[in-house]
Amino acid sequence: MQRIRAEPLEAAAFAAFGDVLEAAGAPDLHINAGLCARYHDRARLDFGPDGRAGVSIFSAIPCALPYRLDLLERHPLGSQTFIPMTENPFLVIVAPDVGGRPGIARAFLTRSGQGINLLRGTWHGVLTPLAAPGLFAVIDRIGPRANLEEFPLAEAIQVIAG
20-54 tens-digit pLDDT: 999 999 999 999 999 999 999 999 999 999 999 99
- Alpha carbons 107 and 37: distance in angstroms, whole number: 30
What tens digit of pLDDT does each residue of 51-90 get?
999 999 999 999 999 999 999 999 999 999 999 999 999 9
With cut-offs at 50, 70 and 90, classify the pLDDT of residue 162: confident
Give the 3-state secondary structure of residue 5: strand
Specify the DSSP element, H or E, that contains 129. Answer: strand 128-129
Rounded to whole angstroms, how far apart are CA atoms 71 and 73?
Answer: 7
How far, in Å, CA of 141 to CA of 45, rounded? 9
pLDDT in tens, 138-160: 999 999 999 999 999 999 999 99
Instruction: Provide the residue type at 158 as one letter.
Output: Q
